[in-house]
């Protein structure tokens, strides 16, 4: 049986972009050896739109220019044991 897409929630967009990645890179600490991106949320948003590479690896996926702020449906496909194996976000308003 082929896994089906199931709606798992909504993603809120309030910065004109959607970023999916490790939240550990968003936490803005004082300067330290870990090199967190940005000093605040606005700086992080500006940086992540242009380059989301940190420590030589891509730390996430960013999408913008899709329709602006709002709430968008999130769907997932699961493995037989229930682990999420794929997600998709529908950036289309109906």
Q: Is the pLDDT of residue 29 over 70?
A: no
- Predicted confidence (pLDDT) per residue in 50-88, tens digit: 665 555 556 677 787 787 888 999 999 999 999 999 999
User: How far apart (Å, rounded) are the C-alpha atoms in residues 93 and 47?
Assistant: 27
State the pairing for strand pair 6-13/70-78. Answer: antiparallel
The answer to whether the predicted template modeling score (pTM) of the entire model surpasses 0.75 is no
CB 91 within 8 A of CB 17: no
Q: Is the pLDDT of residue 31 over 80?
A: no
Structural domain spans, the chain: 1-16+67-94, 22-65
């Amino acid at each position: 049986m082929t896994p089906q897409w199931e709606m798992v929630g909504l993603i809120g967009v309030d910065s004109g972009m959607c970023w999916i990645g490790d939240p550990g890179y968003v936490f803005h600490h004082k300067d330290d050896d870990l090199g967190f991106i940005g000093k605040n949320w606005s700086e992080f948003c500006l940086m992540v739109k242009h380059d989301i590479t940190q420590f030589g690896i891509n730390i996430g996926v960013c999408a913008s220019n899709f329709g602006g702020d709002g709430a968008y449906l999130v769907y997932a496909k699961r493995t037989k044991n229930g682990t999420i194996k794929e997600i998709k976000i529908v950036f289309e308003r109906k």
